[in-house]
Chains A and B, each alone.
Chain A
Amino acid sequence: MALTTGIINDKERAQFLVPRRAFTDRSIFEKEYEAIFNKCWLYLGHASELAEPGTFLTRTVARRPILFTRDKEGEYHALLNACPHRGALVCRERHGKGRAFMCMYHGWTFGSDGHLMTLPGSSGYPKGFKTDPQKQMVHVPRMERFGDFFFINFSKDGEDLATYLADAGDTLKLLGEHSPGGMQIVGGTQEYSIRGNWKLLAENSFDGYHAACNHSTYLEYLGNTKGALGVDPLKGEAVDLKNGHAMVEYTAPWGRPIANWVPIWGEEGKKEIDAVYAELQSRVGPERAERIAKKSRNMVIFPNLVINDIMAITVRTFFPTAPDYMEINAWALAPKEETEWRRKFRLYNFTEFLGPGGFATPDDVEAIEKCQQGYAVGGDAQYNDISKGMARDGAPSFDDEAQMRAYWVEWDRRLSEYEA
């Protein structure tokens, strides 16, 4: 069957083909903003980033500048960061403490909930002007919280967040269960870009097939480092989490601070990891504890949130500003009560693989950028092949491409629905 977007999903012939114009076409890019970024739930931030009442941060979500605040009562607000007067960015700081936001242009000043507190030269305005709803900062149409994860939606209607997340919700819950005292975003953000289409990063983030080739030097590094490898083989499956969300879940040889010990951590480390595991077992039961501790997970929540719970946990979100360019923000998520030793190892683990300076991500970036460059050939070379594992009996393997097909089917559904 050929879908509206030109995706070919032919189960009989075990063929799933994505037309390359999905990565290059300007009109598809514009449609994606209408049909996807303006309709889907998008990750905004984590509760721990506004740990205290009266704090705020600014962040660009799908090209829109957002002011995320917590008022003095502790309520969270997501505001479009533009002044109702003449449109200037109201808050120009990245984060901080403060309950009043003064626009630097004419001095209109707003509260944490966006209401206009101070109007300089108010005698020039009619009565009731200051309380006119149109003169207040605009709230993002919808903001909802799932556990400690905050999402926003630029559309007034549509399904609620929990329904939208479908089975991905359980994996988010599972992340919360890493800790008895809650999780937090560790300070320090990796902020970078890739000169490639944004969907290539979604694909890459849970592509189990590319590791052996693309990350050969990382795997060799693990092999070189005495004691860095545990006993578990790379093995697992892809799971469709519905609504376009999917993950791969697998065992892996690397150490996990929750709670997969590797020899390099030593006997002292083993004691600590054992204690973490025991606490986990008593809190969530043996089965779930084993899953949390021993399995790695790479999850993509449609359209642009990646949570990779691997040798450390990364929360990564991204959006395109052009068909061939995206901006990415990535954070590390960790148990609040983690000891210094474990936190250190977590961050050491994180930076060994992940991010612009890691031993793996730069090669992912290279792959994504080279794909984008390759699409310029045009002509008859029109399709990407995403069919690995389609003919397999039984559960799809983690290094098949079922998870990507789930993503593309949702992408197609959203664009087709928008066109209809």
Chain B
Amino acid sequence: MSTATMERTLEDSLLLRLRVEELLFTEADLLDSWKLESWLALFTEDAHYYVPPSDVDGDTATPDTSLFYIMDDPVRMRERVVRLSKIGAHSEHPRSKVRHLVTNVRVERDGDIIRSRSSFIVSRAKDITHDLFVGHYLHEIVDQGGELKIRKKTCVLDMEALRPHARISIIL
């Protein structure tokens, strides 16, 4: 490979990573500010949102054969957002203060899919409780006419258990 080609490849992958980072940071920002309808708009029509439990290999497990914490299909993702907009979603009323930190973003192309792997810490504070969720995200992203959309988001918790949290009532 000539130096020129190498530079172009490097440029391409840097550019791709910047685009993906922009998407992930936007996502984090929307979740932190509870703009859940806009958050939903970042996903494709056939998107899924998963949170596996701590005692399976979260990178490879599937919710069709293992019990997950969350295995949302598009219908349920929408319903989750609808539910969280209501005063009857007691667990999030009044709404908790949420902060998503997303770092160590790695991106690779896999055919038409862009796979991203990143680290997260999500902080949730509500009345007398303050909990941290620590783990890594696996995002499957597609380019829809120049716009990046998320087709699948898996939040793998790098934790031994969901203690003392008790709930994932926010969106990770």
Contacts and interface: CB of A to CB of B under 8 A. Distances in A.
A334 to B, nearest CB: 9
B3 interface: no
Interface string B41-60: 00000000001111110000
A193 B166 contact: yes
Contacts of B54: 189, 191
User: Dominant SS at the B interface?
Assistant: loop
Interface string A201-228: 0000000000000101110110011000
Contact of B80 (A331, A359, A363): A359
A94 B54 CA distance: 11
A217 B73 CA distance: 18
A192 B167 contact: yes
B166 A195 contact: yes
Interface stretch (A124-132, A149-157, A365-373): A365-373
Given A187-B66, A189-B55, A191-B161, A348 B71 contact: yes
Contacts of B169: 356, 362, 366
B106 to A, nearest CB: 26
Contacts of B127: 373
Contacts of A225: 75, 79
Interface in A349-391: 350-352, 355-357, 359, 361-363, 365-367, 369, 373
Interface stretch (A13-21, A140-148, A339-347): A339-347
B19 interface: no
Nearest to A213: B88
Interface residues of B, number: 42
Contacts of B82: 221, 224
A4 interface: no
Contact of B67 (A188, A327, A363, A367): A188
Given A224-B82, A351-B69, A194 B166 contact: yes
A222 to B, nearest CB: 10
Contacts of B79: 221, 224-225, 359
Interface residues of A, number: 43
Given A191-B55, A224-B79, A373-B128, A344 B163 contact: no
Given A351-B68, A351-B70, A192 B91 contact: no
Interface of B: 51-56, 61, 63-71, 73, 75-76, 79-80, 82-83, 86, 88-92, 127-129, 160-169
21 contacts: A187-B65, A187-B67, A188-B55, A188-B68, A189-B67, A191-B54, A192-B162, A193-B163, A193-B164, A193-B165, A218-B83, A225-B75, A343-B64, A351-B63, A351-B67, A356-B162, A361-B167, A363-B89, A365-B91, A365-B167, A367-B90
